Structure 1
Amino acid sequence: MHGTFLWHELMTPDPAAAKSFYGALLGWEPTDMDGPGFTYTTFAVPGFPSGVTGMMELSREMADQGIPPGWTGYVQVDDVDKTAAEFGENGGAIHRAPEDIPGIGRFAVVADPHGAMLSIMAPKMPDGETGTWPTPGSPGTVGWNELMSGNWQEAWDFYAARFGWEKDMAVDMDAMGIYQTFKLGDRGLGGMMTKPPQIPMPYWGFYFIVPAIDAAAEQVKKLGGQVLMDPHQVPGGSWIAACQDPQGAYFNLTAPAR
Structure 2
Amino acid sequence: MPHTPTSFIWYELMTPDLDGAKAFYDAVVGWRIDGPGEQPGDDFYRMIMRGADAATGGATGGALRLSDAMIAGGARPTWLCYLHVDDLDAKAAEIVAEGGRQIMPPQDIPHGRFTMVTDPQGQPFYLMQPTPPADAPDAVSTVYDRTTPQHMSWNELVTPDLAAAKAFYARHFGFAFDRSLAMGDLGEYCFIDQNGVDIGAVMQAPPGLEPSGWTFYIRVADIDRAAAAVTACGGQVVRGPHPVPGGDWTLNGIDPQGAAFALVGHKEA
What range describes the TM-score normalised by the shorter chain of this pair? over 0.9
| Structure with a larger share of its residues in strand | 1
SS where residue 95 of structure 2 aligns?
helix
Q: Is contact 1:115-1:202 (8 Å) kept? A: no
User: Which of 24, 27, 42 is the matching residue for 2:47?
Assistant: 42
Amino acid paired to 1:42: M
C-alpha distance 256-108 of structure 1, shift in aligned 2 (>3 A)? same
Q: Is contact 1:50-1:132 (8 Å) kept? A: no
User: Which of 5, 8, 14 is the matching residue for 2:11?
Assistant: 8
Q: Is contact 1:3-1:77 (8 Å) kept? A: no
C-alpha distance 66-197 of structure 1, shift in aligned 2 (>3 A)? farther
2-side partners of 1:196 and 1:90: how far apart?
Answer: 24
Task: Note the C-alpha offset of 1:183.
Answer: 1.6
Amino acid paired to 2:27: A
1-side partners of 2:58 and 2:90: how far apart?
Answer: 28
1-side partners of 2:40 and 2:197: how far apart?
Answer: 35
Cα deviation, 1:27-65, whole Å, max 9, x if unaligned, reads 111235324x95321111124442111101011111111
| Runs of 5+ unmatched residues, structure 2 | none
SS where residue 23 of structure 2 aligns?
helix
User: Which of 58, 62, 76 is the matching residue for 1:54?
Assistant: 62
CA RMSD of aligned residues (A): 2.1
Moved more, 142-151 or 47-56: 47-56
C-alpha distance 135-97 of structure 1, shift in aligned 2 (>3 A)? closer
Superposition TM-score, scaled by structure 1 size: 0.92
Aligned equivalent of 2:28: 25
User: Which of 196, 215, 227 is the matching residue for 1:205?
Assistant: 215
Task: Note the C-alpha offset of 1:128.
Answer: 1.3
SS where residue 127 of structure 2 aligns?
strand
Identity fraction in percent: 36
Aligned equivalent of 1:173: 183
Aligned equivalent of 1:86: 94
Amino acid paired to 1:45: R
The answer to whether residue 72 in structure 2 is matched with residue 72 in structure 1 is no
In the TM superposition, what are the counterparts of 1:66-145 in structure 2 within 5 Å?
66-101=74-109, 103-129=110-136, 133=142, 136=145, 137-145=147-155
C-alpha distance 132-192 of structure 1, shift in aligned 2 (>3 A)? closer
Cα deviation, 1:124-176, whole Å, max 9, x if unaligned, reads 12311557958822111100011010111110001100001112430100100
Q: Is contact 2:154-2:200 (8 Å) kept? A: yes
2-side partners of 1:200 and 1:46: how far apart?
Answer: 35
Aligned equivalent of 2:199: 189
SS where residue 106 of structure 1 aligns?
strand
| Runs of 5+ unmatched residues, structure 1 | none
SS where residue 207 of structure 1 aligns?
strand
Moved more, 175-184 or 92-101: 92-101
Equivalent residue pairs, number: 256
Q: Is contact 2:59-2:143 (8 Å) kept? A: no
2-side partners of 1:17 and 1:165: how far apart?
Answer: 35
Amino acid paired to 2:29: L
SS where residue 106 of structure 2 aligns?
strand
Q: Is contact 1:106-1:123 (8 Å) kept? A: yes
Amino acid paired to 2:50: V
Off by >6 Å, runs of 4+ in structure 1: none
